[in-house]
Amino acid sequence: MTKILRVFALACVALLTHACILGDAPVARSHIPHVSRHLVARQPQTNAVVIKNVRVFEPLIGILSPPRDVAFENGRIVPLADCSSTPTVVDGTGRTLLPGLIESHSHPETAEHLQAFARNGVTTVMSLGCGTSETCGGLAGLGPGLPDLYFSGGVATVPGGQHAQTPGYPQNETVSETEQAAPWVQAQVDKGASFIKFITERAPSPTLNDATLAALAQAAKAQHLLSNCHAADYNGTRQALDAGVNIVHHSSTNVAYDDEILAKFKTAPLFNPLHLATRVSVPTLTLMRFIVKIIPGQTYEAAQASVKSLHDAGIPILVGTDSNIIAGPTFGPSFHDELANLVEIGLTPVEALRSATLLPARHWMLRDRGVIAPGLRADLLLVNGDPTKDISATKNIEQVWIAGVAIL
Ligand SMILES: *[C@@H]1O[C@H](CO)[C@@H](O)[C@H](O)[C@H]1NC(C)=O
Ligand SMILES: *[C@@H]1O[C@H](CO)[C@@H](O)[C@H](O)[C@H]1NC(C)=O
């Protein structure tokens, strides 16, 4: 048994909860205090609710169900007959119920940022770096009614790298040699990180060399953690893929991905618990659309062509915005912009919705969400209209529940 499974089994024995039996913790988690706190935080005692006569988005088969009833209680979806209290009835007529949206790239810093996500139907947030580890750790434990948050802790880049010059970047946490990779990754694990993030900087910035990137990916693998790499240009993407990373964030705005890059995307990652045949992309088109106006010589068309070629090649694409406190995409509303950006380059609305629900749940290894089914988290988004026909319907939000807690 791996260390993680042992930890998970211990947590299950300690709590003996229904949720535990279903497999609550993401596989990538390896931190005992973190896992335990998380399991406790996920059991809000909420009264039963039944949404009547609602069409349900089924991401596995890509259709809306005929109108049916969906019940949940104590944070979990349950068969209606299993409710122990008389459920509150919500009318779902003419509406669509979606699994809560999963943001695969953000930098929230405050509870207000998380509230903005919640109001916009985003129920799980991946923080790909935040000001301090205290900020991240604090946001992860704020309690019911806020999105479930997972974080990388710090973000590795070289001394003098463009990202090391971002206000607030801890200058003592840069990485310049392969020997520093494993201790750096260990430091993130100690902060409670659920995954590891590092950066390939755009020329002319100094950037991590190939050997150090590979050492970081190897160190993440040794900790049973997914590795994530920022790569916003052609060469950075090639470096990230050669290092063996799981998830490539952003897309190329200088030169569009070509056959060489696509071939690298079509190889298995170094750490491969899901037995994947390819890598995964979080293209953050919303950010790229913004960035090309600031950095000379970049085009949004290169980013669009890159993502289109990934989609045509069958590479999994996840919805992420890079919403942050400095500039560009907003916390929450920009998620819906990203859905539209993906539909614009050729994903069907159903594919875009899968990239916001089922696919991120699978690729971030969160086994308790991403579809609407008994036993899974009651992370739900009720909208008016049919977003499988018109993706903008995800913005017609009627109600959001996070682990069964109503937000609006
Ligand atoms: C960097 O400095 C901060 C603030 O002094 C400290 O909390 C942190 O532990 C240091 N990190 C490392 C890797 O030494
Ligand atoms: C990638 O890097 C190589 C070697 O430094 C350089 O010759 C080439 O122009 C770069 N390509 C792009 C697209 O930036």
CA of 172 to the centre of ligand 1 (A): 6
> CA geometry: angle at 122 spanning 119 and 125, to 5°?
125
pLDDT tens, position by position, 16-39? 222 222 233 333 333 323 333 333
d(CA 197, CA 30): 16
Give the end-to-end CA distance of the chain in Å, rounded to a whole number.
Answer: 43
Point out the ligand 1 atom lying closest to the alpha carbon of residue 171.
Answer: 1
d(CA 28, CA 193): 9
Point out the ligand 2 atom lying closest to the alpha carbon of residue 234.
Answer: 13
Model pLDDT, residue 32: 29
d(CA 368, CA 82): 19
The residue contributing the CA closest to ligand 1 atom 13 is 173
Strands 247-249, 280-282: pairing is parallel
Model pLDDT, residue 44: 64
Task: Name the residue of 205, 235, 238, 252 to mutate for ligand 2: max ligand atoms within 8 A of Cβ.
Answer: 235
CA of 236 to the centre of ligand 2 (A): 10
Model pLDDT, residue 142: 85
Model pLDDT, residue 43: 54
- With both helix axes pointing from N to C terminus, report the angle between 234-243 and 210-222 in degrees, rounded to the nearest 10: 40
Q: How many other C-beta atoms lie within 10 A of the C-beta of residue 294?
A: 9
CA of 173 to the centre of ligand 1 (A): 7
Model pLDDT, residue 134: 73
The reply to whether ligand 2 has any atom less than 6 angstroms from the CB of 210 is no
Enter the pTM of the model: 0.90
d(CA 28, CA 155): 18
Contact present, 98 and 57 (Cβ < 8 Å): yes
Point out the ligand 2 atom lying closest to the alpha carbon of residue 203.
Answer: 14
CA of 203 to the centre of ligand 2 (A): 9
Strands 101-106, 122-127: pairing is parallel
Model pLDDT, residue 318: 99
Contact present, 239 and 217 (Cβ < 8 Å): no
The reply to whether ligand 2 has any atom less than 6 angstroms from the CB of 110 is no
Residue type, 399: Q
Model pLDDT, residue 193: 94
Write out residues in the chain with pLDDT < 50, as ranges.
1-42
pLDDT tens, position by position, 332-346? 999 999 999 999 999
The reply to whether ligand 2 has any atom less than 6 angstroms from the CB of 255 is yes
